[in-house]
Amino acid sequence: MAGSRIACLLVPDLPLAAALRAQPELAEQAVAIATGPGPRAEILSVSPEAARRGVRPFTTTVQARAACAELRVRVASPSLERAARAALLDVALSASPRVEAAPPSAGLYAAEAVVFLDATGTGSLFRSEAGLAAALEARATRLGLPPVVAIAGSRPTAHIAARKLARGKPARDSVRARSDGARQAGRRSGVQKGRNPARQATQARKEDKQLRDEDTPPASDPRPNVEIVHQDAAYLAPLPIDLLDPAPPLAEALTRFGIRRIGELARLPRSALLTRLGAGARELLDLARGASRPPLPAAPASTRCEEALDLEHPLEHLEPLAFVLRGLLSRLGERLACRGLGCGDLDLRLALDGGGRDARRVGVAAPTGDVRVLLRLLCLSLEARPPGAAIEGVALATEGRPLRADQLDLFRPAGPAPALLARTVAELEALCGPGRVGAPALADSHRPDAWAVAAFAPASVAPVEPRRPGAGELSLRALRPPVAAEVRVVAGRPVSLRSAVANGRVTAVSGPWRSTGAWWSAEERFALDHFDVWTSDGTLCRLRLDRIGGRWEIDAVYD
Amino acid sequence: MVPIPRRPAAAARLDAPACRTPESRTPEPRTAEPGTPVEELLRDLGGQLRRGGGVEPEAAARPWPTGLRELDRLLGGGFPRGRLSEITGPVCGGRTSLGHALLARATAAGEVAALVEVADAFDPGSAHAAGTRLERVLWVRAPERRAALRSVEHLLLANGFGLVLLDLAGEAPARTARPRPRDARRGHLERTPAVWPRLRKAARAAGTALVVLGDRRCVGACADLAVETGTLRPRFTGTPPLLEGLEGEVHIVRNRLGPQLSRVPVRWPKPSGLRSPSARCARPAGACMRRCS
């Protein structure tokens, strides 16, 4: 029986990837992510184009601009990174129900976002592990998060393999730069007394070059972002030890011991190592040996998705806000589509200038992923109730709802396609207003003018024979609200009336039919006497006397 | 030399598109090869077999009956699918009853129908009493005429509704915009003439029967069928008097597919489920104290 298989989905430079996901038009430009808006803010990440032009991480914004005048500096946004992490989790959930997001690292790989998923038994969905990895990579790339994917027998091995791949990616220069910097620092601190420092440095440079050459995949590799590991121990043994992301004191001690590869660490006796390096070395040793951890938890039942954006400048008009909302909706729709879901009701939260908040819920009649329709619903809501101040931040959340599926039937009418129907219903609601589109329903009430609107979800049904072939049936035409009438009454029966609908002498009348109900509620109670009245001007209407209010009204005409 | 196998003739395959080729201007009928399982299936199932998607040519031509025998006979079966039809007439003329009859027939046939209205006058209880399966009706309460027309266009583009009923009757006159003199002569409904050819084309493409209900004719020459209802006479019988129904006639004023200028006597009995005020109790039978079910 084959053991468990774990896939690791890793985005090496999350701040940059999150910023490019929000603004894909910057993908080919020189972009740097800074810690703040000021000129002395530190550069955290740089795009490949910026790196090619000489911009380096851990410099100030002024220095970076001096190196590249066309540099586009963006401030690192926690909300964007949070949404990007959630999107990566959605990609994993699209392939397996058992997923786990690794907690953010504080060390050398602080910028990476990692998600593990259980790849065991996915053979029925994907032809091979390579197919699974390719699908994960394609889906994450579609969401604007180009990842590296590694599949191995345990989480540590898959994680290390993914880090190795990411190090070889030319687009992740920032991570590599930070890694190299830390390595240099460790090497500087690891120079031992009594030895020739020059020879030691030369030796270290040779080993580093050798390791880097081993790390970098060959140019002929058809899929450089995917790694499938079958023999975990053999794969890990030659890899450099900094892929384990050891704490600085541990890294310094291991360098002092001359341990540079994972295999060398894994071969050390556990008790002796713990005696010398303390309890912190236990986890490092487990990682080096690829020890298995508890199984991945089952997927959370929540299908809630949220996208947020902190604006650099407050927005005061609806039109520029619509551009922002379009981007958020597009990203939300892509995430939900990845999991086969449609967009449900929208929760829009606006951070206003001056510390105010604006929260609103916009109903969506049927789950849909149509950005145009959803944007229209949001704009209608904002036009109807504009926010009180300029907008500094936008957060949009929704509950993913399964799209309606329909099985075509040979013997029944096909009807509209469910996805198209859902989009149409949502468009109609955006056009006509909330609550004005749906299936009419009979209200569970004795009130004569009670009615309801239900969600429109027609199921395929068999045709039935009409009840009365060869004859029509008389129908009513409702007047909402009822039209007030002046009625002259003789012996409790109307003899003439005057209103906007019917006027004149009452030619024929039948009734009254009394209906009462809701006597327990002062607001909803009713007591009505209804008459079918034919007036001399040719109108056949339904006249009613509201016995509580003492009013005569016409609530329908026969037509 | 290995012979290249020939593809079977397009007309012999059920999934082949019915396209015209320069060689043969008239496409051959879609028939399965004799002896094949498809042919056996077609023979066993006969007319019950429907195609899963799209619009069947025969279904597109099949009209929706109104339930009034004489009118259906004159119309060649009823209101045609894939066409734009119009029902007009005064209040209490039977327009709504005719529209509800179409809704009832379409939903009873298992189709999905849509009702778009401006005056918010649809009475679900009345339609239910006339036999409409309400869960198969998409009810759109448009705030104004322009939204109603756009809604109809969306519905036709959704491509799957058997019947779309556009109810413009009782629409309040536009007060915001002053009609041009030319439009004022023809009524304010005439100010969007370009929409009707577009809707007619969309209805034809979707195979949907588009029926416009109004106080007076507004579709003009784009209507394939126009029916006017006259003033009806109510019938009260018994002591005390009870409303039995309405009687009158329907006038076919335009019909591109058959005879026109015909008058048909009609009778609209009051349905048994529509006792005044309106016995549309949703409670199960026997559970209602009013015994309305």
Which of A411, A437, A474 is nearest residue B97 as measured by Cβ atoms?
A: A474
How sure is the predictor about B84, in pLDDT bands with cuts at 50, 70 and 90? very high
Rounded percentage of chain A residues whose pLDDT exceeds 90:
13
> How far is the C-alpha of A342 from the C-alpha of A362, rounded, in Å?
15
Among A107-116, A284-293, A507-516, B245-254, whose mean pLDDT is lowest?
Answer: A284-293
Q: What is the mean pLDDT of residues B109-130?
A: 90
Give the pLDDT confidence of A46-100 residue by residue, as tens digits. 888 888 888 888 889 999 999 888 888 988 888 889 899 999 988 998 888 888 8
CB-based contact (8 Å) between A312 and chain B? no
CB A32 within 8 A of CB A19: no
H/E segment holding residue B161? strand B161-167
| Rg of chain B, C-alpha, whole Å | 23
How sure is the predictor about A149, in pLDDT bands with cuts at 50, 70 and 90? very high
Instruction: Name the DSSP letter for residue B48.
Output: G
Choosing among B14, B48, B91, which should be mutated to test the A contact, i.e. which has the most A CBs within 10 A?
A: B91
Maximum mean pLDDT: which of A379-388, A415-424, B27-36, B102-111: B102-111
Contact A472 B48 (CB under 8 A): no
Instruction: Name the DSSP letter for residue B76.
Output: T
Give the pLDDT confidence of A262-273 residue by residue, as tens digits. 888 888 888 888
B212/chain A closest Cα distance in angstroms: 15
CB-based contact (8 Å) between B108 and chain A? yes
Which of B110, B140, B241 is nearest residue A437 as measured by Cβ atoms?
A: B140
CB-based contact (8 Å) between A461 and chain B? yes
Contact A475 B161 (CB under 8 A): no
Q: What would the DSSP string read from start to end of A433-465?
A: -TTSEEEEE--SSS-TT--EEE---PPP-----
CATH ID of A304-402, from 3.30.1490.100, 3.10.310.10, 3.40.190.10, 3.10.310.70? 3.30.1490.100
pLDDT at residue number A405? 66
Give contacts of A515 with chain B, Cβ < 8 Å: 277
> How far is the C-alpha of B61 from the C-alpha of B81, rounded, in Å?
6
How sure is the predictor about B290, in pLDDT bands with cuts at 50, 70 and 90? very low
pLDDT at residue number B44? 66
Domain span(s) for CATH 3.30.1490.100 in chain A: 304-402
Give the pLDDT confidence of A397-441 residue by residue, as tens digits. 998 888 766 666 676 667 777 777 877 888 888 888 888 999 999
Instruction: Name the DSSP letter for residue A216.
Output: S
Give contacts of B53 with chain A, Cβ < 8 Å: 408, 414, 417
Write down the mean pLDDT value for chain B. Answer: 73
Res A208 pLDDT > 60: no
CB-based contact (8 Å) between A383 and chain B? no
Give the pLDDT confidence of A102-112 residue by residue, as tens digits. 888 777 788 88
**Closest-approach residue (CA) in chain B for A419:** B158
A60/chain B closest Cα distance in angstroms: 54
Which of B142, B154, B268 is nearest residue A472 as measured by Cβ atoms?
A: B268
Give the pLDDT confidence of A498-554 residue by residue, as tens digits. 998 888 999 989 878 888 888 888 888 889 888 989 999 888 899 999 988 889 999
Contact A470 B67 (CB under 8 A): yes
Write down the mean pLDDT value for chain A. Answer: 81
> How far is the C-alpha of A310 from the C-alpha of A79, rounded, in Å?
7
Res A471 pLDDT > 50: yes
CB-based contact (8 Å) between B278 and chain A? yes
The answer for A 412-431 residues in CB contact with B (under 8 A) is 412-417, 420-421, 424-425, 427-428, 431
pTM over 0.90: no
pLDDT at residue number A237? 86
Q: Over A368-429, what HEC string results?
A: ECCHHHHHHHHHHHHHHCCCCCCEEEEEEEEEEEECCCCCCCCCCCCCCCHHHHHHHHHHHH
Which of A475, A511, A538 is nearest residue B97 as measured by Cβ atoms?
A: A475
Contact A451 B125 (CB under 8 A): yes
With b for 16 or more beta-carbon neighbours within 10 A and e for fewer, the B229-263 pattern comes to beebebbbeeeeeebbbbebbbbbbbbeeeeeebe
The answer for B 201-240 residues in CB contact with A (under 8 A) is 231-232, 234, 236, 240
How sure is the predictor about B167, in pLDDT bands with cuts at 50, 70 and 90? very high
In the beta sheet, which residues pair with residue A147? Answer: none
H/E segment holding residue A511? strand A503-517
pLDDT at residue number B35? 60
CB A483 within 8 A of CB A554: yes
Cα A481 → chain centroid? 43
B214/chain A closest Cα distance in angstroms: 12
> How far is the C-alpha of A57 from the C-alpha of B211, rounded, in Å?
68
pLDDT at residue number B245? 83
Contact A474 B67 (CB under 8 A): no
Contact A470 B69 (CB under 8 A): yes
0.85 surpassed by complex ipTM: no
Instruction: Name the DSSP letter for residue A261.
Output: B
Output B109 or B61, whichever has higher pLDDT: B109
Whose structure tokens read 């009782």?
A: B170
> How far is the C-alpha of A60 from the C-alpha of A41, rounded, in Å?
5
How sure is the predictor about A128, in pLDDT bands with cuts at 50, 70 and 90? confident
Maximum mean pLDDT: which of A129-143, A207-221, A285-299, B181-195: A129-143
pLDDT at residue number A491? 84
Among A15-19, A329-333, B129-133, B190-194, whose mean pLDDT is lowest?
Answer: B190-194
Q: What value, to the nearest 5°, has the Cα angle with vertex A288 and ends A285 and A289?
A: 90
Q: Which amino acid type is present at position A181? A: G
Give contacts of B266 with chain A, Cβ < 8 Å: 472
Res A197 pLDDT > 50: no
CB-based contact (8 Å) between A556 and chain B? yes
Res A287 pLDDT > 60: yes
Other beta carbons within 10 angstroms of residue B146's beta carbon come to 14
Contact A421 B158 (CB under 8 A): yes
CB-based contact (8 Å) between A540 and chain B? yes
